[in-house]
Structure 1
Amino acid sequence: MPRIRGGLWARCRLCACIVALTASVFGVGYVARSQAQAPAAPGAPTTAQQPSIAFYYGAKPPVAELQAFDMVVVEPDSGFDPTQHALASTQWLSYVSLGEVLPSRSYFKSIPQSWLIGGNTAWNSHVVDQAAPEWPAFYVDQVITPLWQRGFRGFFLDTLDSYQLVAKSDDDRRKQEAGMVAVIRAIKAKYPEARLVLNRGFEILPQVHTLVQAVAFESLFRGWDQGGNRFTEVSASDRDWLLGQARTIRESYRLPVISIDYCPPADRACARNTAAQIKALGIIPYVADPALSQVGIGQIEVMPRRILMVIDTPSDISLDDSSANRIGAMPLNYLGYSVEYAHVSQQLPEGVLNDRYAGIVVWLNNSIVPNQARYAQWIRQQMDNGIRVAFMGRFGMSVDGAMGQALGLDAVRGRATRELEIVSRDPMIGFETQPMPDRREAVSVRVRDDARSLLRLRAGQYEVDAAAITRWGGYVLAPFVVMTMDDVNQNRWVVQPLDFLRQALALQPMPVPDVTTENGRRLMLTHIDGDGFASRAEFPGAQYGADALLKDILERYRVPTTWSVIEGEIAATGMYPQLAPVLEPLARKIYALPYVEVASHTFSHPYDWARTLEKEKDRSTAGYDSFHLEIPGYSMDLDREITGTRDYINEKLIPPGKKVKVLLWSGDCQPPAEAVRKAYAAGMLNMNGGDTLISRSNPSWTAIAPIGLNKGEGAFQVFAPHQNENIYTNEWSGPYYGFERVIETFEMTDKPIRFKPLNIYYHTYSGTKAASMRALRKVYDYAMSQPVMPIYASDYIRKALDFQTFAVARDGDTWVVRGAGDLRTVRVPGQATPQLAGSQGVVGFSPANGGQGTYVHLDGGTARFRVGSNTPAQPYIAEASGVTRNLVRTGNSMRFDFRGDYKPFFRVAGGSQCRVTVDGVAQRGTRVEVAASEQSSQTFRRVHVDCAE
C-alpha cells in the first residue's frame, strides 16, 4: 500500500527524519496566509482561496464525491483510468514512490540489485540508491512515462526521506539528496507541464522549489502508528517543528502546504474538527482513515448524496416493479439523493460507509429475513459507524433481547386481543390517508425516553409505538408507511415521506440538484415513440398518422421534439417492405426539421425486455418472436435492436449533421442492465419507463416515479418524467381523447411541489384519430401557456445522469457544487437566497414552488456561493428561457453567453439603472428577447448587463 511517511519514526530536530505512514498529498502553486504566521507578501491569497485536495488509495475511487475537490491523488495500481473520468474542475494525480520500491510494482524486477541498498521492514519495501547515475533516466522511463501515457499529468512523490535509513554520514546524505534532485529535474525536463507535489523533502527544497507545486507532510494534530496499529496525538513540540517547516516553505518558497491527519473511519466529528484546526492555521487539510480508502474531510467537506436502500424483493418481481423503486425512491430523489439498492439475501456493502451514504433505508416485505443474524449484525455495525437507518414497513429481524437493547426499544409483553386505538400521533402520520391500525400487524415494541413516538397504539394494557424517531434513525411499521388499495390498484402514503426521511436520517440542509427547472422556468420535453408510423390516418387530410403529426403538431408548435422510429415498421427489411418507399421519405422529412431530435425505438419493439437475453441465448425456443413484432426471419438479437437500428437511421433517414442521440425503450420499458450498457456503448442516451400516473382519480405521490433506476455499473436507466397516451386511453381502447387528462398530471407534479418537469410523451399512432389529435392540441396549448423552457429529451437525460454524480460540498459557510455542466439548477432550502457578492458561477435565482426554497441558477457545472437573507444589490437573472454560461461578475455588472432553443429570453432583476446589450446591441428594458433563427439556435450570444453603482 502506498503511504506517506511521518508518524512511525521519532522526529529528530537535527536530521529532520520524520517519516510518515499511510497517505499521500497534493497541492497547487499558490500561497495561503495563516493568522499564526507573519504577514504574507503582497498579493498572496487568503485562506479562503486555498485549493481543496483529496487522497484516495482504495479500489474504484468514488468519482462522484471526489469531483468536489480541485485535485485528487490516487493509487495507480488500483486500475483507475484518468482519461475515463476527465473533469473540467478536478485534476487526477498519481501516487509514486521515489525513495523506496515495493516488490509488487511492475518495474521492480527491472531495477539492478546493486541499486537496492536497504530495506524498510515496516512496509516490506526496498530503499533505492538515489545516487546511482542511471537512476533518474530509469525512473522517468519506467515509472513516470507509463503513467503519463495512461493520462496522469501530475505526480505525488513519496518516500523522499527513505535514504536516511541507509545514509549515515553527511557526505552520503548529500549524494542521496543530489540524486533525488536529479530525478525531479529529469521529470520536468521530459514533461515540463507535469505537476509535482513532494511529501516532505525539506532538505532538497532549496534546489527544486521552482519545479514543484506544493509540499505535504502528515500528522499535524493526529497521526497513525502503523507498527502499534493505533491512533496518536501529536505533541506540541512536534507540531511546532512542523509549523516552522511550513512557515519556511510558504514564506521562502511561496508554495502551499498540506497536512494529512488521521481519525478513526467512523468518527466524522474527529475528522471535521481536526480539519478545522489545520485550516485555521492557513494550511490545506485532509483528514481521513489511515488507509486513505474513504473520502476524507479537507478544505471542503463533501456531503454524501447517496442513500442505500436494503430490500428483499422476491425473485419473481423485478427491481423495476418493486415498491422500493416505484414508491420509495422518488421522495429521496426530491430531497437530493440518488438511490442504490442492496438485496438482503446478497452481500451487503462492507466497511465504513459514512463518507458516501447519507443514510440507509430498509424497505422489506418480510418481518424476519432468512439470514437474520448476519443482517442484524450488519445493521448494528452501520449504526455503530454513525450511519442513520430508517426502517420502512418492517425491521426484518427480531428486536427483542440484545437487538432491542441496541435499538433502545423495549419489548411489550402480550399481544393485542382487541382492536387497537390511536393514543397519540405526530402530524406527519395521516398524510394521504388516515392510519388504520391492524392488530395482526402490531409489533410489540415501545420506545424509551430518548426517542420520539410518532404513532402510539393501545388495546387495553397493551401499548406499542408503531412509528418513532430515534437516536439511530427511525421507523414506521406496516401498515403505516403505504396503504395498498388492491381493488383500485392504487396506494396512499400514510406517513409524510419527506418529513419522516428528513428527520429519521437527520438529512442536513444543502443545495439540492434539481432536474425540473432551469433559470426559474419549468423544463418541458417532448418525445414520441415510433409505434404506428405505418398506421393510416382515419380522417381526411393526411395519409398516415405520422404525416398528420408533422403537419398539425410539429409544424404548428415548432418546439424541440425527440422523435423515434421502429426500423422493423418502416424499413424494407421489416414487416411492411411495400410501404418503405413511402414511410422512409416521410421519416426523412420529419428528421430534416431543425427542431426534431433523432431517436431510435429499436428494430422489433420488444414488449418484454426480461425475455430478450433469454431468447437471444436460446433462439430455438418455441415462440421466440412472441414478445416483439413478428418480423419475418428475425430472431432476437440485442445488437440488432440497439446498434443495428442506430446505424440504419444514421445511414438512411437523417440529413448530414444529425445522428441518433437517444434510444427510447419499448414495450414494458424494463431493459436488462446489459441492454442499457449496450445503448451507452453505442453512443446513445436512453429513456422511458417509470410510470408517473398521478391524477385527480389517483391523487397520490406513490404514483410519481423516481428519476431513474440504477441497474448496475454503467447501466442507469432514465425514466420518462410522465407517461404517454396509451395509459390515459386504456391501452388505446378509448376514449381516444383521454390523453388530455395528462394535464392533471402536469399540474399535480408542479404544485404545491414541483416534482417533475413537463413532458409531452405520446406515440405516432396518436396522429391517426381525430379525437386523439384534438387531445394533443389541447395538451400542447396548455403546456405552451405555462412558464416553461422547452428542451430536447437528450438535454433532460443528461441532467438526470448529472444528478446521479453531482457533488455538493461545504467550505465553511460557502457551498461548493460540481457536476458535468448539464444540470444547472440547485434548490436551497428555506427563504435564503444566494449572496452574489463573492459568488462564482451563480447567474441568478427565483423562488421555488410551494415555499420549498429557492432555485439557484448556475452557468455551468461548478459554482461557489453563500446563502443569506440579504437581497442582493447586484444584477442577476430572475428568469430565462435559455442556457447561460461563462458568467463574469465585476461590481454591478455581469457578462455571460446566452442561447435558447425556443423563443429565448432573459429577465434581469437587482441593480438599478441597468443597461443591457446583446452582441454589442443595446436592448430596451430588462426583459430581453434574443432573436435567433432556428438554424442558429445553438449559437451563443454575448450579453452585457451594466448597472449603476
Structure 2
Amino acid sequence: MKKFLIVVSLFLGFLCPCVYAKTISSICFYYNNVDSKLELQNFDTVVLDPNNVSDRNIKALKSLGIKVYSYLSAGEFDGELTGDLSKYKKTDNKEWQSNIMDITAAKWHDHLVSEARSLLKRGFDGLFLDTLDSFNAYSSPDDDKTYYEKQIYGEKVLLEKLHKVSKNLIFNRGFEVLDKLKFKPVAVAAESIYKTYNAEHDSYYDVSKEDREWLSEQLNRVKAKGIDAIAIDYLDDSDLEARVLLAKKLVRDGYIPYVSDGLLNGFGVSTTYNIPKRILGLYDGRTTNQMNSALQNRICTPLEYLGYAIDVLDINELDYRLIDKTRYAAVITYFDDANSFSEHPEFSEWIEKHVGYIKLLFLGVLPTADSTLNALGINFSPVTMVSPYTMSVEPKKMNKGLLKPTFSNLEDYFPYKVDTKKGFKVLAQIKGSDGQVSDMLVKAPWGGFAINPYPVDYLQNGQEIWLIDPFMFLDEMLNLKVIPAAD
C-alpha cells in the first residue's frame, strides 16, 4: 500500500484541479502479457487483451477495486478467417494486417455477441470496442450516401446488441453512430490528439493541426453529452518526462489521458503512472538451475530489501518484448562463464541497441562481442595478464575489508579498461606483473559491472563472502529509486 501511495502522489499536482471524469479517473491500456497485478494496481480502470491475461489475474485485479475491461475489435478480425465469417470480409487493413468486416452482417454481429458473452463469463467488467470507424475504409458518403448510412445503422444495431450483453462499454471513436444510440457508453476514446504512431514503419510523429482540431471537435461533442472522453497519445518509452508533460496537456484539454507506446505493450502515463518496481535477472539454465544460480542466491535478497521484485529468468527462454523500462528498473546478468554471451548473439545485439535505455549490471563476466563492448565503452585486450597482481580499491566505503580477492591459477584474466573522463567510476582495479591493468569493479553511466572474482569470493573452507557491501554496491551501480518496503 505504501508503494501505491508514493506512485500516485507523483501526479497529484495536476490531478487535483480536474473534475471532468465522472466514471474513470485513471486508465491503462495494456495488451502485453499480464503476469501479475503489480503494475496495473495503480490504475482504477484497465483495458487488457483477453488472450494475455488469466482468469486468476482478472479476479485479482477486481479484488483491488479495479474495473477490468476486455479489448474487442468490433469492425475487424485479426487472424485468418475461416468458415462463414470469410464471406463478410470487405477489405484489408494493411497497416495492422487485419480483415475489415461488414459491419452490417448479422453473422458478424452474432460472432461478436458470442465473444462478448464469453468474455463477461470470464469475469471482465466490460468491453472496450475498437475499430468502430473501420467501415470508412470501404464506404464513403461522397461515393454513396445511402450505402454509407446503411453502415452506420448496422453499427448502431451491433452496439445495441452488445449493450444488452454488457452495460459497461467504452468506444474507440464511433462518432458517426453516437447520436443514434439509445444508451450512453461509459466513455469514448480517441487516439492521436498530439502524437501518433505508424505501425507499418514503427515510427512516432506529430498529428497535424487540422486532424487535431477535427478530433477535438468530436471529443467536445462527447463531453457535451456527459460522457468521459479518453485521449490516447503515443510516445516511445525512452523519455518519461515527455510522456508526463503530454499527459498534463491532455488533462488541461479536458481529457482522461493515456500516453504509451504504439503497440500498447508497456505501461503508460495516465493521471498516474508507475515507478518500475521490478528488476530482470538473467542466468543460464544450461549450466545451473534457478534455485542454485548465483543470481538467486546472492542478488535477490539485497534487491528485495531495497524494495524491488526480481524476475529471475533463464536467458534461453527470454522474451525480449518484455524488456521495457516501464516494467523493469534494471537488467542484471550473472553467468558462470562468458559462453552465455557468445552463444546468445541476439542478447548482445539487444544490449548494443539499448545502452542507456535501461540500467544494466554485468556480474562475473562481461559480453564477449567487440561491438557490444564498444557500445558499452569498454576496451578489451586479448593478451592474458601475468600474475601476481596488485590491487587498488576505491572508495573504501564500498569494501568490506577483503582488499585482495583470491585469483585462481586455473583462470586467465584479461585487461578491461574504461575511460573515467566519460562518466565511468573505477571502484576496484588490478595490475599484473607485466604492467597490464584491468578495471574489475566499475560504475558506468549505463549501470556497471563486476568481473570475477568480484563481487563474491570463496574462503578456503568453501564459504562465500561478499567483497563489497551488497546493499551499497547494488544501490551505487543501479542508482535505484527508494521504494519503501513493508516490514
The TM-score bracket by the shorter chain reads: 0.7 to 0.9
**Superposed displacement of residue 304, structure 1:** 2.4
Q: Does 1:68 align with 2:42?
A: yes
**Superposed displacement of residue 155, structure 1:** 0.7
Counterpart of 1:301 in 2: which secondary structure?
coil
* CA contact 1:413–1:462 (8 Å) conserved in 2: no
Q: Cα 1:129–1:256, aligned 2, differ >3 Å: closer, same or farther?
A: closer
Q: Cα 1:119–1:338, aligned 2, differ >3 Å: closer, same or farther?
A: same
**Superposed displacement of residue 196, structure 1:** 0.6
Q: Does 1:87 align with 2:57?
A: no
Counterpart of 1:498 in 2: which secondary structure?
helix
1:404 maps to a residue whose letter is L
**Superposed displacement of residue 425, structure 1:** 0.7
Q: With the length of structure 2 as denominator, give the TM-score of the two structures.
A: 0.81
Query: Which of 164, 177, 181 is the equivalent residue of 2:156?
Result: 181
Q: Deviations over 1:216-262 (max 9, x none)?
A: 11111221234555332212232233223323322x11222222222
1:394 corresponds to which residue?
365
Counterpart of 1:58 in 2: which secondary structure?
coil
* CA contact 1:155–1:195 (8 Å) conserved in 2: yes
Q: Cα 1:479–1:154, aligned 2, differ >3 Å: closer, same or farther?
A: same
Counterpart of 1:87 in 2: which secondary structure?
helix
Q: Cα 1:61–1:294, aligned 2, differ >3 Å: closer, same or farther?
A: farther
Looking at structure 2, the residues matched to 188 and 422 of structure 1 have their Cα atoms a distance apart, in angstroms, of: 72
Query: Which of 205, 227, 238 is the equivalent residue of 2:211?
Result: 238
Q: What are the equivalent positions in structure 2 for 1:772-851 lying under 5 Å apart? A: none
* CA contact 2:349–2:372 (8 Å) conserved in 1: no
Query: Which of 74, 86, 96 is the equivalent residue of 2:72?
Result: 96
1:524 corresponds to which residue?
none
2:280 maps to a residue whose letter is L
**Superposed displacement of residue 424, structure 1:** 4.9
Q: Does 1:462 align with 2:431?
A: no
Looking at structure 2, the residues matched to 337 and 296 of structure 1 have their Cα atoms a distance apart, in angstroms, of: 20
1:477 corresponds to which residue?
451
Looking at structure 2, the residues matched to 419 and 389 of structure 1 have their Cα atoms a distance apart, in angstroms, of: 31
Q: What are the equivalent positions in structure 2 for 1:265-280 lying under 5 Å apart? A: 271-280=243-252
Query: Which of 384, 398, 401 is the equivalent residue of 1:429?
Result: 398
Query: Which of 149, 152, 155 is the equivalent residue of 2:121?
Result: 149
**Superposed displacement of residue 325, structure 1:** 2.0
Looking at structure 2, the residues matched to 125 and 91 of structure 1 have their Cα atoms a distance apart, in angstroms, of: 29
Q: What are the equivalent positions in structure 2 for 1:631-710 lying under 5 Å apart? A: none
Counterpart of 1:328 in 2: which secondary structure?
helix
* CA contact 1:275–1:298 (8 Å) conserved in 2: yes
* CA contact 2:382–2:414 (8 Å) conserved in 1: no
Looking at structure 1, the residues matched to 184 and 349 of structure 2 have their Cα atoms a distance apart, in angstroms, of: 49
2:269 corresponds to which residue?
297
2:101 maps to a residue whose letter is V
Looking at structure 1, the residues matched to 372 and 173 of structure 2 have their Cα atoms a distance apart, in angstroms, of: 48
* CA contact 1:140–1:186 (8 Å) conserved in 2: no
Q: Which protein has the larger Cα radius of gyration, Structure 1 or Structure 2?
A: 1
Looking at structure 2, the residues matched to 79 and 506 of structure 1 have their Cα atoms a distance apart, in angstroms, of: 32
Q: Does 1:201 align with 2:174?
A: yes
2:380 corresponds to which residue?
411
Query: Which of 106, 110, 113 is the equivalent residue of 1:138?
Result: 110
Looking at structure 1, the residues matched to 26 and 85 of structure 2 have their Cα atoms a distance apart, in angstroms, of: 36
Task: Tell me the C-alpha RMSD between the 2 structures.
Answer: 3.5
Q: With the length of structure 1 as denominator, give the TM-score of the two structures.
A: 0.44
Looking at structure 2, the residues matched to 505 and 62 of structure 1 have their Cα atoms a distance apart, in angstroms, of: 24
Looking at structure 2, the residues matched to 375 and 329 of structure 1 have their Cα atoms a distance apart, in angstroms, of: 25
Q: Does 1:262 align with 2:234?
A: yes
Q: Cα 1:383–1:136, aligned 2, differ >3 Å: closer, same or farther?
A: closer
1:160 corresponds to which residue?
132
2:321 corresponds to which residue?
351
**Superposed displacement of residue 331, structure 1:** 0.5
Query: Which of 298, 309, 321 is the equivalent residue of 1:338?
Result: 309
Q: Cα 1:370–1:143, aligned 2, differ >3 Å: closer, same or farther?
A: closer
Q: Does 1:503 align with 2:468?
A: no
Q: Does 1:54 align with 2:23?
A: no
2:215 maps to a residue whose letter is L
Q: Cα 1:340–1:228, aligned 2, differ >3 Å: closer, same or farther?
A: closer
1:353 maps to a residue whose letter is I
Counterpart of 2:317 in 1: which secondary structure?
coil
Looking at structure 1, the residues matched to 404 and 216 of structure 2 have their Cα atoms a distance apart, in angstroms, of: 62
* CA contact 1:390–1:474 (8 Å) conserved in 2: yes
1:350 maps to a residue whose letter is Y
Q: Deviations over 1:286-314 (max 9, x none)?
A: 23333223333333222222222222477
Query: What count of residue pairs does the alignment treat as equivalent?
Result: 460
Q: Deviations over 1:8-53 (max 9, x none)?
A: xxxxxxxxxxxxxxxxxxxxxxxxxx99xxxx9xxx7268996221
Q: Which has the higher contact order (CA 8 A, sep 6+)?
A: 2
* CA contact 1:392–1:475 (8 Å) conserved in 2: yes
1:343 maps to a residue whose letter is D
Give the % identical residues.
23
**Superposed displacement of residue 334, structure 1:** 0.7
1:223 corresponds to which residue?
196
Counterpart of 1:325 in 2: which secondary structure?
helix
Looking at structure 1, the residues matched to 22 and 429 of structure 2 have their Cα atoms a distance apart, in angstroms, of: 50
Q: Cα 1:332–1:308, aligned 2, differ >3 Å: closer, same or farther?
A: same
* CA contact 2:27–2:46 (8 Å) conserved in 1: yes
Normalized per residue, which structure has more helix? 2
Looking at structure 1, the residues matched to 404 and 254 of structure 2 have their Cα atoms a distance apart, in angstroms, of: 55
**Superposed displacement of residue 499, structure 1:** 2.2
1:12 corresponds to which residue?
none
* CA contact 1:188–1:211 (8 Å) conserved in 2: no
**Superposed displacement of residue 94, structure 1:** 1.6
Q: Cα 1:374–1:111, aligned 2, differ >3 Å: closer, same or farther?
A: closer
